[in-house]
Amino acid sequence: MSVFGKKWIIKNSNTSISTFQKILENRGIVDEDERLEWNDPFLFSDMEKAVKRIFDAIEKKEKIIVFGDYDVDGITGSLILYSTLKKMNAVVSYRLPNRLKDGYGLSEKFVDEFVKKDINLIITVDCGISCRLQIAKAKENNIDVIITDHHTIPKEAPDAIAIIHPKYDASYPFKDLTGSGVALKMAHALLLRTDSKESIEEKLKNLVDLAALGTVADLGPIRGENKLIVKEGLKSLTNTAWPGLKKILKLSETKEDDEIDGSTIGFKIAPRINAAGRIGDPYTAMSLLLQEDDGEKVEKFGNELESLNIKRQEMTKIAMEEAEQIFSKNGLENKILLAESQNWHVGILGLVAGRLVEKYARPVILMQDFGDTLVGSARSPEYFNIVEALTLFGDILPSFGGHAQAAGFNVKKENLEEFKTKLISYANKKLEGNELKPSLVIDCPLNPDEISFEFIEKMNKLKPFGIENLRPIFIMEGLEPYFIDQVGKGKDHLKFMVKAKEKEVNVIGFKMGEFMSAMRQHKKIDLVFTIEKNVWNDKEKIQFKALDFRENK
């Protein structure tokens, strides 16, 4: 068994093709020099109607509200549309719900507020498709609504004047845009009606880094148009025009010569922006990103965001430990794990549930108990559609929504036991016979003869890496580890060397320091790793990044 207790799955063992061909085949890439192109935003069948309505509002000086979501995807998407409309001299403002006070989406209280403020047009970002009743109320009060969203489509869509949603719209060729990606397409459509080609390119360059943040943070698959958004967005991010983003990069200790990639977004930028929406006020993040110059407000909002992120990390750690204790005590006989606590903050439930899914390889639902009502976050592996499961019990859930692998809901305390019993019964039947064990998917074995800088450069052509285009993962068997040591401030990391034929290669295993003694007991190991170029003191070396290992018997 591997040190992490994972089941290793080798995706491609075809000996008749090269390692690189296996990598391409695993990702469904036909041509290593694939051409990525922007789709015409007017391929959305409702885009023409949406653009016409927006320009009518601008011309008549009508009041427009951009209504977003409280996560990275919603915040960056809202900023894309708000800043674009502002530069077009629209009378525009924005609203973001508070996760704790308002919940997800366009609630009736916001519609009531917009009625009082004589709003004429609402443009939703990263939400709206599940808000049929609220949008009907807006219409009754002479407020038009344009929906831009990408979430699960309900049986009955809202009666909006335009719905810009890649999965709802049969005519749009790429179905996996996230909320910020959809917002970028709308901004592009608006610019096509007003600006020159050169001006559009420059303005999109200053928006695409925001869309890249949302795409990566919301786990959009990195292929097709998403891949282009992230690729171009990462280029813009290296010299971003947004002072707030520069501040976040500085706070995350990203140096000027550091490579900015998908992991920079996923592990450094996104958690800080998300911290505001999770446990604070999303306006803190929005206010930081809105700043046009690097002044006192950037410093103020940036430091607030950093404090929230540190607090979020502490809360996540505590909730994780408590949930693990509950599941250890109750056992793992059920195919779905559920737990609730008054002490867990609703804003970190999804984070913790996601980590527990990785550990237990089964759907996890965590809930914050507010007394009469519980608010839950659900996460699940790819082989279980959690929002489909929640839909079956929609009659006892006042509200729910989300994606196949991530969802949220409310349930009344009086219905909690019925909900848990029914959901556990459903999951147990649905996942009967499944071996629920954490797995590690490996691209293919790596031939020692292929270890070279040229091979690494060839792999890097596939960047940016991310969901559905992961950095290639390899396995080599029967390696002899030596010079084994713990490194890092707290001796958290494992460092050693291996010999692959005549090639000596450095290996680093981050957060694997605890396995030093286990490795020293093994004469030979099977190693799962990624391969990269490591530069230290201007010297380039090939390095393996260890992901898991086991004794070679």
pLDDT (0 to 100) of residue 30? 82
β-strands 493-500, 503-509 pairing: antiparallel
Give 36-50 pLDDT, tens digit per residue.
999 999 999 999 999
DSSP character string of 207-232 = HHHHHHHHHHHTT--SSHHHHHHHHH
Amino acid found at 211: A
pLDDT (0 to 100) of residue 279? 94
> Which pLDDT band holds residue 401 (cuts at 50, 70, 90)?
confident
Mean pLDDT confidence for 205-210: 97
pLDDT (0 to 100) of residue 543? 96
Write out the E strands in 96-137: 121-125
Alpha-carbon distance 205 to 225, whole Å? 15
Alpha-carbon distance 517 to 512, whole Å? 11
With DSSP H G I counted as helix, E B as strand and the rest as coil, what are the percentages for the chain, rounded to 5? 45, 20, 35
- Helix, strand or coil, per DSSP, at residue 373: strand
- How many other β-carbons are positioned within 10 Å of the β-carbon of residue 467? 17
Mean pLDDT confidence for 14-38: 91
Strand (E) or helix (H) holding 438: none
pLDDT (0 to 100) of residue 272? 97
CATH of domain 7-33+439-551: 2.40.50.460
Give 217-274 pLDDT, tens digit per residue.
999 999 999 999 999 999 999 999 999 999 999 999 998 778 899 999 999 999 999 9
pLDDT (0 to 100) of residue 258? 83
Q: Which fold has domain 41-237?
A: inorganic pyrophosphatase (n-terminal core) (3.90.1640)
What does pLDDT average to over the chain?
94
Mean pLDDT confidence for 489-495: 93
Amino acid found at 176: D
Strand (E) or helix (H) holding 363: none
Please say if the pLDDT value at position 553 is more than 90.
no
Give 513-531 pLDDT, tens digit per residue.
999 999 999 999 999 999 9
The token pair at 2 is 């591997």
Q: Does the domain at residues 331-430 carry the CATH identifier 3.10.310.30?
A: yes
> Which pLDDT band holds residue 57 (cuts at 50, 70, 90)?
very high
Give 144-154 pLDDT, tens digit per residue.
999 999 998 98
Alpha-carbon distance 202 to 187, whole Å? 13
Cα 419 to chain center, whole Å? Answer: 28
Please say if the pLDDT value at position 538 is more than 90.
no
Mean pLDDT confidence for 161-171: 96
Domain ranges of the chain: 7-33+439-551, 41-237, 331-430
Alpha-carbon distance 148 to 85, whole Å? 15
Mean pLDDT confidence for 417-434: 95
Cα 54 to Cα 89, 299, 417, distances in angstroms: 12, 34, 47
Are 507 and 543 contacting, i.e. CB atoms less than 8 angstroms apart?
yes
Kindly state the greatest CA–CA separation across the chain.
Answer: 77
Please say if the pLDDT value at position 444 is more than 90.
yes
Percent of the chain scoring above 90 in pLDDT: 87
Percent of the chain scoring above 70 in pLDDT: 100
Cβ contacts of 50 within 8 Å, gap of 6 or more: 44, 146, 161, 162, 164, 186, 189
Are 376 and 389 contacting, i.e. CB atoms less than 8 angstroms apart?
no
DSSP character string of 240-267 = -S-HHHHHHHHHTT--TTSPP-HHHIII
Cβ contacts of 57 within 8 Å, gap of 6 or more: 64, 90, 91, 120, 121
DSSP character string of 290-349 = H-SSSSHHHHHHHHHHHHHHHHHHHHHHHHHHHHHHHHHHH-S-SSSEEEEESSS-GGGH
Mean pLDDT confidence for 472-481: 96
Alpha-carbon distance 338 to 363, whole Å? 9
Give 325-358 pLDDT, tens digit per residue.
999 998 889 999 999 999 999 999 999 999 999 9
β-strands 364-369, 373-379 pairing: antiparallel
Q: Which residue has the higher pLDDT, 321 or 294?
A: 321
